[in-house]
């Protein structure tokens, strides 16, 4: 790897370590959110389509799902984020019972409105909604009405989406205390990779104990998240580093990824004792795979590596 790339990675890492220190307190996080609210809202015009594979997997995960029946189903999302992309698409399709939970409140009203506008005006999503017998006119009218909402509470109330923050899902009692309907399906999208393995074990165990016999579907991004802002990096560049170096680079709430491999998820789920299936959605091929094999750190040798995206089904 070139010296220039190493310096870029180090600079990006230091920036977010400093950011984590500045906004580490409750007051600091509130200030950070206020600052983010004042920044220009991202253009999500093309973004909704990237969430369609996840939405399709969610719909396939409902054992009782038939087109036109989504209004009678409920879902629980783990890891809310900022713009509610997947819950908004499910709402656009007609789902009326959606709860989303997070350890912190990162929702931004401008980003939600922007994402809703993008969904309601995306031809591919509109076609998809119609193919599932959704009332597209009703969905578009609902999303257009969001522009009049000036508070997060009123916006979520209009959507009918229940948001619960500051939830410690490692605790069975905390999961039991969630004020939401019993979901037909529990899902997460690009969330599990940001949770330490010991915490992840407790979270999945708590969900399985409280929501007995309820299916869970988790989409996991194993790729190097530094590559999101540095596209010239190898997709699994994060496998280059030994654990100590990786911890120094990424151990803060903006950059943390656990680097669990297919082997690790398999072992983790076996230890929990749940029925599960792991599907590899994306896998490196050809030259990219060989390049990864040439630089991978010793601790990954002997593990199943090369997958960049997984779908984990827990039954």
Residue with tokens 């601790």: 299
Question: Would you tell me the crossing angle of helices 109-120 and 136-145 to the nearest 10 degrees?
Answer: 150
Among candidates 85, 36, 75, 61, which has minimal Cα distance to 162?
75
Phi, psi torsion values for 312, nearest 5 degrees: -105, 120
| CA 90, chain centre distance (Å) | 15
The two counts, helices (H) then strands (E), for the chain are 13, 7
Q: Could you tell me the residue ranges of all domains in the chain?
A: 3-314
Q: How confident is the model at residue 3 (pLDDT cuts 50, 70, 90)?
A: confident
Q: Are 216 and 207 in contact (CB under 8 A)?
A: yes
Q: What is the mean pLDDT of residues 263-287?
A: 95
Q: What is the mean pLDDT of residues 252-272?
A: 95
Residue 243 has pLDDT above 80, yes or no: yes
In this prediction, residue 64 carries a pLDDT of 67
In this prediction, residue 189 carries a pLDDT of 96
Among candidates 152, 148, 160, 146, which has minimal Cα distance to 107?
152
Neighbours of 1 (CB within 10 A): 11
pLDDT tens for each residue of 65-98: 777 789 999 999 999 999 999 999 999 999 999 9
Q: What is the mean pLDDT of residues 7-22?
A: 94
Check whether domain 3-314 has CATH 3.40.50.150, yes or no: yes
Q: How confident is the model at residue 152 (pLDDT cuts 50, 70, 90)?
A: very high
Residue 169 has pLDDT above 90, yes or no: yes
Percent of the chain residues past pLDDT 90, beyond the cut: 88
Percent of the chain residues past pLDDT 70, beyond the cut: 99
In this prediction, residue 23 carries a pLDDT of 94
Structure tokens at 187: 């899902």
Mean pLDDT, the chain, whole residue set: 94
């Amino acid at each position: 790897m070139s010296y220039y790339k190493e310096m870029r990675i180090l600079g990006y890492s230091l920036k977010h370590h400093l950011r984590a220190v500045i906004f580490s307190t409750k007051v600091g996080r509130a200030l950070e959110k206020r600052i983010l609210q004042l920044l220009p809202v991202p253009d999500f015009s093309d973004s909704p389509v990237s969430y369609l594979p996840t939405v399709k997997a969610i719909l396939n995960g409902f054992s009782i799902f038939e087109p036109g029946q989504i209004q009678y189903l409920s879902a629980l999302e783990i890891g809310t984020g900022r713009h509610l992309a997947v819950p908004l698409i499910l709402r656009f399709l007609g789902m009326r019972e959606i709860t989303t939970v997070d350890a912190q409140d990162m929702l931004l009203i401008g980003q939600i409105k922007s994402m809703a506008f993008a969904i309601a005006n995306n031809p591919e999503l509109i076609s998809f909604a119609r193919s599932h017998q959704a009332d597209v006119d009703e969905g578009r009218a609902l999303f257009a009405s969001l522009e009049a909402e000036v508070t997060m509470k009123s916006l979520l109330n209009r959507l009918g989406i229940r948001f619960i923050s500051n939830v410690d899902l490692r605790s069975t009692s905390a999961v039991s205390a969630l004020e939401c309907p019993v979901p037909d399906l529990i899902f997460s999208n690009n969330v599990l990779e940001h949770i330490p393995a010991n915490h992840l074990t407790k979270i999945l165990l708590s969900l399985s104990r409280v929501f007995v016999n309820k299916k869970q579907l988790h989409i996991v991004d194993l790729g190097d998240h530094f590559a999101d802002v540095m596209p010239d990096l190898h997709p699994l560049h994060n496998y280059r580093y030994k654990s100590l170096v990786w911890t120094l680079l990424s151990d803060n709430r903006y950059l943390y990824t656990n680097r669990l491999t297919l082997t690790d998820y398999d072992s983790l789920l076996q230890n929990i004792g749940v029925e599960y299936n792991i599907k590899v959605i994306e896998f490196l091929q050809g030259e990219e795979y060989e390049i990864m094999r040439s630089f991978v750190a010793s601790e990954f040798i002997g593990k199943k590596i090369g997958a960049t995206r997984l779908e984990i089904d827990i039954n």
